[in-house]
């Protein structure tokens, strides 16, 4: 498959022979006259290698169940650009890297921190606390020529191969390859791990930063670097502004067929979309126009367009040459600022050191209550979702350990029974030792054997505790190694360290339990957060909801687009006003808004409560606006005694919230906030063809949009009430009236507090019988009115019901207006 690949490297532990094989298999670049330069290479390397560093870290992994392999590391290369510890590398090197360690050419290592990041150019800065470093020298962009000899310095394949040097030429300039900007092409061999390394000329000057290689069977030495002019442009912005300030036009552009396939073209870029109120819109640029040039720079391709914009800053004026129809014209545009490319990285660091398990001498499971020694070479490979099975491997590939927990065993299982259960797991193997070790603490059954499948040696132990059997299996892949006294003693020491206990106070004990207190939720909306691990999830669309096992607590997260000019204060005030308008004052409570900050983003918190007359429902609402999206987070609970735990949960939720631009789905677009479109004055017409009526219901009620069905019973509902229409095309008006009268009388006989009135009214041009009551059911007071009438051979019943909690003047009027909006047609 043809593809370009970034040159950072994610590696698990590999044997030296495997790495050597990979190096020997790499293509070697050569060209005529190359030998003339080789005498100068050692001197150039000696001059420049101290400016090139290796960067290593842990791959970012938000999955808490599957803990990262401690030897599963990511690495790349960097170039020192300032002597006080600023190192330039590729953005893709540090994008998914945490616990960064930087190693200089002399072997000294430092903890690193990403300080500047720009994904558009694929460049980033890492800072280490060091001074007196040797900063690289940059070549003049005009001095770079096709055919000149170059060297690449980097960390290919393995961190152990840092500061490797390869040799080649500049194969091409101004290449447009999977990049926003132009790249340098070279045949100097560069491989995964070279990302961020230096491409040098024979003066020892940096002409580019290695970033991509072309990968396809049969294709060799097709590699690319970010040219020095782009590098210097980005560095200048990093140190001046803290980010790359990019101008913004507000247009989407399409390339011509020639540009797409790489044929030189002067056709320009077609404007396929113009954002409202954008600089382009204000300058009169319209869809269908063709952009030919920015000032004097032609724009035949998107890369040319981006290269041209590099020369300008936001708030500068530029002249655009456009073709509209058959006419060419010049438009002056005041450039805006593109905020979409600004990216902040979120670090979920387990510590400052690259090995997050440093200082952990033991490993165990707090939920199942076991622990054992944790040698530096041990790697957790797999763990099932309930934590009852976990496997480890030695980094050198010498041995493996498997732990398995079997439930529902007899608590009085005898030593013989335990030994037989253990033996059954190794049926067909050569058993070399089998016994029961009746020690004071944690007695166990043990079998030493040789596998009938691969000939590996193993030692298997079984422990009984309560209704669970704990099996621990050591597999040694070499019989010779197992029989080595020194090795066997170390294996036995490891097995002897297995205990059916877990010491919470031991800071050196690493907990691998999958039964954690929280789960991290990764979304397509650019936001991550934690919820309690035992909460279940549901939800759809742009809403995500979670609830506790008892369903007494929950969280709803909604994401919608922020309208132009909308503010956090306006949004929360609007929400509070809607809440106040919905409930009668005695049935609602609302706190004053409180300003806070979440992940560096301003936020507002409010508490709401409402009741229908029985139990109160409580809500803790959080409002955030970030990157043109509104994030609403509402914690719900049903018992005021839970207020303290909800406050603690809210603090935990706020602390867990992170906005990660890279996590947002690339197709994420406008998500309309329906509340901004909704109005109590707007209605939707529902028509029943079969029962020959139409009704205009408020559009924010439920049920008005179901137009394709003709149910006998049709409801139009809102929180705490609604209207239900029942139709009978048999025309049995008396039957409807009798059934309704019987229902009311039965309720009155059952409870003396239940009273009702009947009356006759004129509605819809006919006589209508009305039943009305005000009652309290399960402490929920409500008003109910039933209307019965016949029209054009159809008998209708309309029931209006509304809880007193939401019986505001506005809502009651809407309910009655909906009834009176009914219209009827003849056959």
Q: Tokens standing for 453?
A: 């499948």
Cα angle 19-25-30, degrees, rounded to a multiple of 5: 130
Active site residues: 92, 122, 195
Distance CA 320, CA 284 (A): 11
Across 209-241, b (16+ Cβ under 10 Å) vs e yields bbbbbbeeeeeebbbbbbbbbbbebbbebbeee
Nearest in space to 302 (alpha carbons), one of 159, 178, 417: 178
What stretch of H or E contains 309? helix 302-309
| Distance (Å, whole) CA 366 – CA 466 | 16
* Host H or E run for residue 247: strand 247-248
Do strands 73-82 and 97-103 pair parallel, antiparallel, or not at all (unpaired)?
unpaired
Separation in Å, CA 175 to CA 181, 246, 379, 583, 715? 9, 21, 43, 64, 64
Task: Compute φ and ψ for 815, nearest 5 degrees.
Answer: -65, -45
CB burial of residue 422 (10 Å; 0-12, 13-18, 19+): buried
The residue behind tokens 């000294």 is 108
**CA-CA-CA-CA torsion for 215, 216, 218, 223, nearest 10 degrees?**
-20
DSSP 8-state secondary structure symbol assigned to residue 178: S
Q: What is the DSSP letter of 499?
A: B
In the block, which residue shows the tokens 């997260």? 557
Outline where 685-773 has alpha helix (H).
Answer: 733-750
How far apart (Å, rounded) are the C-alpha atoms in residues 444 and 803? 66
CA distance 189 to 261: 27
Q: CA–CA separation, 823 vs 800, rounded Å? A: 17
In contact, 153 and 52? CB cutoff 8 Å: yes
Q: Using alpha carbons, select from 15, 674, 655, 70 the residue that is nearest to residue 398.
A: 15
Instruction: For residue 651, give both structure tokens.
Output: 């603090």
Contact 286, 271 (CB under 8 A): yes
CA–CA gap between residue 793 and residue 732 (Å, rounded): 9
């Amino acid at each position: 498959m043809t593809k370009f690949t970034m040159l950072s490297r994610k590696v698990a532990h590999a044997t030296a022979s495997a790495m050597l094989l990979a190096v020997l298999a790499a293509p070697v670049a050569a060209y005529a006259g190359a030998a003339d330069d080789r005498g100068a290479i050692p001197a150039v390397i000696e001059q420049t290698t101290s400016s090139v560093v290796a960067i290593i870290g842990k791959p970012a992994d938000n999955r808490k169940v599957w803990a990262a392999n401690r030897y599963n590391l990511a690495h790349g290369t960097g170039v020192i650009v300032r002597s006080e510890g600023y190192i330039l590398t590729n953005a893709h090197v540090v994008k998914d890297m945490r616990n960064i360690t930087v190693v200089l050419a002399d072997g000294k290592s430092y903890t690193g921190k990403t300080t500047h990041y720009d994904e558009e150019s694929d460049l980033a800065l890492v800072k280490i606390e060091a001074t007196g470093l040797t900063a690289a020298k940059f070549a003049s962009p005009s001095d770079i020529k096709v055919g000149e000899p170059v060297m690449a310095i980097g960390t290919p394949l393995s961190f152990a191969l840092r500061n490797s040097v390869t040799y080649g030429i500049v194969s091409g300039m101004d290449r447009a390859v999977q990049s926003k900007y132009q790249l340098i092409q070279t045949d100097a061999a560069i491989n995964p791990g070279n990302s961020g390394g230096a491409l040098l000329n024979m003066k020892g000057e940096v002409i580019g930063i290695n970033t991509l290689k072309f990968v396809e069977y049969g294709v060799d030495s097709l590699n690319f670097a970010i040219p020095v002019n782009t590098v210097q442009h980005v560095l200048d912005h990093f140190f001046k502004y803290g980010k790359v300030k990019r101008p913004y036009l507000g247009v989407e552009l399409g390339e011509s067929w020639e540009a797409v396939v790489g044929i030189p073209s002067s056709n320009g870029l077609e404007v396929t979309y113009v954002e409202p109120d954008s600089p382009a819109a204000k300058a009169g640029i319209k869809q269908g126009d063709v952009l030919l040039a920015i000032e004097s720079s032609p724009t035949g391709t998107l890369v040319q367009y981006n290269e041209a914009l590099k020369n300008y800053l936001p708030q500068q004026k530029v002249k655009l040459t456009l073709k509209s129809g058959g006419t060419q014209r010049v438009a002056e545009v005041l450039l805006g600022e593109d905020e979409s490319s600004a990216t902040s990285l979120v670090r979920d660091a387990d510590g400052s050191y690259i090995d997050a398990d440093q200082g952990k001498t033991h490993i165990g499971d707090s939920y199942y209550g076991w622990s054992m020694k944790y040698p530096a070479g041990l790697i957790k490979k797999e763990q099932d979702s309930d934590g009852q099975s976990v496997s480890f491997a030695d980094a050198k590939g010498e041995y493996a350990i498997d732990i398995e927990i079997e439930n529902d065993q007899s608590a009085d299982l005898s030593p013989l029974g335990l030994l037989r259960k253990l033996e059954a797991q190794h049926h067909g193997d050569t058993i070399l030792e089998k016994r029961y070790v009746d020690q004071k603490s944690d007695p166990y059954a043990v079998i030493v054997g040789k596998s009938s499948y691969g000939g590996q040696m193993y030692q298997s132990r079984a422990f009984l505790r309560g209704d669970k059997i704990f099996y621990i299996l050591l597999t040694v892949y070499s019989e010779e190694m197992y029989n080595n006294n020194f090795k066997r003693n170390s294996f036995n020491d490891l097995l002897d360290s297995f205990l059916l206990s877990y010491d919470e106070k031991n800071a050196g004990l690493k907990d691998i339990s999958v039964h954690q207190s929280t789960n991290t939720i990764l979304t397509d909306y650019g936001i991550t957060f934690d919820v309690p691990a035992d909460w279940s999830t549901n939800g759809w669309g742009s809403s995500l909801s979670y609830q506790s096992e008892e369903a007494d607590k929950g969280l709803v997260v909604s994401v919608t687009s922020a309208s132009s000019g909308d503010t956090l204060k306006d949004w929360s005030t609007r929400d509070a006003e809607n809440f106040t308008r919905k409930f009668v004052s005695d049935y609602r409570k609302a706190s004053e808004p409180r300003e806070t900050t979440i992940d560096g983003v301003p936020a507002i918190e409010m508490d709401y409560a409402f009741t229908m007359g029985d139990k109160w429902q409580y809500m803790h609402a959080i409002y955030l606006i970030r990157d043109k999206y509104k994030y609403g987070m509402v914690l719900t609970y049903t018992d005021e005694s839970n207020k303290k735990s909800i406050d603690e949960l809210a603090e935990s939720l706020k602390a867990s919230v992170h906005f990660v631009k890279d996590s947002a789905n690339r197709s994420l677009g406008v998500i309309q906030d329906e509340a901004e479109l909704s109005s109590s004055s707007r209605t939707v017409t529902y028509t029943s063809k079969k029962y020959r009526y139409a009704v205009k219901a408020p559009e924010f009620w439920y049920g008005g949009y179901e137009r394709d069905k003709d149910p006998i019973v049709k409801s139009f509902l809102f929180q705490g009430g609604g209207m239900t229409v029942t139709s009978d095309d048999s025309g049995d008006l008396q039957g409807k009236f009798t059934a309704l009268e019987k229902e009311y009388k039965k309720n009155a006989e059952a409870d003396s507090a239940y009273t009702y009135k009947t009356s006759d009214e004129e509605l819809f041009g006919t006589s209508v019988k009305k039943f009305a009551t005000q009652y309290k059911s399960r402490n929920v007071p409500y008003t109910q009115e039933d209307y019965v009438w016949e029209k054009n051979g159809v008998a209708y019943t309309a029931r209006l019901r509304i809880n007193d909690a939401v019986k505001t003047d506005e809502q009651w009027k809407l309910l009655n207006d909906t009834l009176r909006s009914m219209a009827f047609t003849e056959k």
